[in-house]
Amino acid sequence: MLLPQKFVYLDEVDSSITQDLRYTYDENFLGFQVVGYKANRAILTKEAAKALSAAQEDFLKDGYSIVVYDAYRPQKAVDSFVMWSRDINDQKAKERYYPGINKGDIFKLGYIFDKSSHTRGSTVDISIITLGNKLHPVKFSKRKLRNNDIVPFLDDGTVDMYTSFDLFDPASHHKTDLIEEEYLIRRNYMHSVLSKHGFNSYPKEWWHYTLENEPFPDTYFDFDIR
């Protein structure tokens, strides 16, 4: 597919980075494949892809590798998130992704937006995996937080950050006091590497990073991922 100017396929910049775009299949907070996601192939601006590849070099030196859950996201996909949020009868993925909050509050609480930084092409949702390990199908379990609340954990083989990707809960915040120090250290390690290469974190999601000097800070794109 011919991409818009200044966009690239991530694997053409760095093929060592693992891609597991969750919205291309049904293991996500909606519970179904999202419109606009027609291939498990991450797309980013050239600047973001190069910066992520530079971060990957540092992770590799430490014995880890990046796993990308989401990158560029079409506006039509964001619009489908909005429609999904209004259907209060659809609670298919609640137990796995938002057990502690009302579906109708997801936007108000700042977990998703009707205009997403992903749609500007320089935001990624990522984790890291230990070299030699491989992703595996998600294994569902439950965990207790320090306040005794119970949250789901979806183990896919990545480094254990105590909460899994897209869990909409305060325990997923960077500065949470709901998890033990060893897991905060892992999150902070990832943060230190990515910030070194120009990425800013989102306080409510340990996996979410945006290139500070993104080339399209005010433009929201809508081409399909294919």
- Supply the residues annotated as catalytic: 205
Percent of the chain scoring above 70 in pLDDT:
100
- What 3-state class would DSSP assign to 185? helix
Tokens of 102: 């009302």
Q: Record the pTM.
A: 0.96
Question: Which tens digits make up the pLDDT trace of 176-203?
Answer: 999 999 999 999 999 999 999 999 999 9
- What 3-state class would DSSP assign to 119? helix
Question: Which tens digits make up the pLDDT trace of 15-52?
Answer: 999 999 999 999 999 999 999 999 999 999 999 999 99
Strand ranges inside 16-165, DSSP E = 18-19, 43-45, 64-70, 123-130, 139-144, 150-155
Residue 35 is predicted with a pLDDT of: 98
Give the H or E element holding residue 202. strand 199-202
To which residue do tokens 């929201």 refer? 220
Measured distance CA(196)–CA(73) in Å, rounded: 24
pLDDT higher than threshold 80 for residue 76: yes
Strand ranges inside the chain, DSSP E = 7-9, 18-19, 43-45, 64-70, 123-130, 139-144, 150-155, 199-202, 205-211
Question: Which tens digits make up the pLDDT trace of 98-136?
Answer: 999 998 888 888 888 889 999 999 999 999 999 999 999
